[in-house]
Amino acid sequence: TMRLIQTFTLCLALLLSFAASSDVADDPDTAGHKPELHHEAKLDRCAGMEFDAIAVNEEGIPYFFKGDHLFKGFHGKAELSNETFPELDDHHNLGHVDAAFRMHSEDSPDHHDHQFFFLDNKVFSYYKHKLEKDYPKDISDLFPGIPDHLDAAVECPKPDCTDDTVIFFKGDEIYHFNMKTKKVDEKEFKSMPNCTGAFRYMEHYYCFHGHQFSKFDPVTGDVQGKYPKETRDYFMRCPHFGQKSTEEHIEREQCSRVHLDAITSDDDGSIYAFRGYHFLSITGDKFHSDTVESAFKELHSEVDAVFSYEGHLYMIKDNEVFVYKVGEPHTHLEGYPKPLKEVLGIEGPVDAAFVCADHHIAHVIKGQTVYDVELKATPRAPAKEGTITQFKKIDAAMCGPKGVTVVIGNHYYLYDSPKIMMMARIMPEQHRVSQGLFGCDH
């Protein structure tokens, strides 16, 4: 019996010792370094997080890195970075990216449009998600004079900078690396916080610090306007985030960089723009912003397409159609939602839809195909009208007094009519959604 007790006591001591050592190893204060987020972690960017690095791919989609995870675009769940960039793990097993950017350099055509990732003292070069030959390399080999263990990096092409340049951040030290001369110019950006991530988007430069960001001048470092701002308001779709005033909600929706899901103009000329869980309405010079759920509770959030017809908003989500009578408040029609196939004769999902004034035809866009649906017909059946050749995919579209507005990402294009939209061979002038449609002044 005594021997059994001794054996049990020894096993218990070993178990407690192992647990204690595990606690010590997992304690960042004890370990002496910042813990990495590993693949078991459930990451929620709407909970607020400090990104490790940010870079835009060749298609203009921003990649947000955190630990060994990656968020693609402005919404969606995290995925393991090594699913897209497996060599990052193969070479280092570090579980994180220190800094990243997409190269823009006419003086270095071999590097142009490549994504560069920095891990400790190494740099990786990817083109279309494939690691280039002879990489990774030492940072000092490719960017002499630039230190290891960077915090952030961002490209600065001409004419934003005098020559094609890469800006590197480490603590409060700023380095401008001239791609033409290979010279380094150390800068002092007094009005900027220390950047943990940086990227260039829509020809603007953003410094991320914590879960806030500031827009800055890449040459002087000057921060102009009301900054810092909350990242979750402008670069992510986060439902019910923050307690904000009406003015702050309106400004967020006016100036958000997240692409629109749908847009429409009703019979009175009011515009409704939908983005994730929120919408913005414009009547004359008056703006209103709220959650989709507050005004269209049956819909809850995220709509694929919206069009206005005879005082009603037809809101398409997946394979269903919700119909609301325009008013204060908007009234959901009894019997809806109904299947999209039943209402318009089309299988979902769709990308955009619009109706022009004094017409009874809904133009429904799926990919590059435009279908015409005669709304007075019974039953309604789609007729293929044509193909859009200038764009592979449209985010949203509406018809108004100026013609057809086509929205793609953060830009929109104007066409005189649906027919011209499909027949046009010359690309129309590009406008910014936030400024041209919503009057954002920054």
Q: Within 10 A of 158 (CB to CB), how many other CB atoms are there?
A: 15
3-state SS assignment for residue 232: helix
Q: How far is CA 25 from CA 18, 21, 43, 89, in A?
A: 11, 6, 22, 22
Between strands 278-283 and 99-102, the pairing is unpaired
Instruction: Classify residue 180 by burial, with Cβ atoms within 10 Å: 0-12, 13-18, 19+.
Output: middle
> Which 8-state DSSP code applies to residue 216?
B
Contacts 24+ apart (CB under 8 A), 87-92: 87/124, 87/131, 87/135, 87/136, 88/117, 88/119, 88/124, 91/122, 91/124, 91/136, 92/119, 92/120, 92/122, 92/136
Contact 146, 191 (CB under 8 A): no
What is d(CA 279, CA 277) in angstroms, rounded to the nearest whole number?
7
Q: Regarding beta strands 137-138 and 338-339, do their DSSP bridges make them parallel or antiparallel, or are they unpaired?
A: unpaired
288 is in an annotated binding site: yes
Single-letter residue type at 85: F
**What value, to the nearest 5°, has the Cα angle with vertex 201 and ends 200 and 205?**
45
Type of residue numbered 208: F
DSSP designation for 429? P
120 Ramachandran zone, left/alpha/beta (phi>0; psi -120 to 50): left
Question: Which residues, in sequence order, are CB contacts of 138 under 8 Å at separation 6+?
Answer: 121, 122, 123
* CA–CA distance, 136 with 102 (Å, rounded to integer): 16
> End-to-end alpha-carbon separation of the chain, Å?
80
Torsion over CA of 94, 97, 98 and 102, rounded to 10 degrees? 150
Specify whether the backbone of 171 is left (phi greater than 0), alpha (psi in -120 to 50) or beta: left
The C-alpha atoms of residue 9 and residue 5 are separated, in whole angstroms, by 6
347 Cβ neighbours under 8 A, 6+ residues apart: 319, 340, 341
Residue ranges at the known binding site: 288
Residue ranges of the annotated binding site for heme are 288
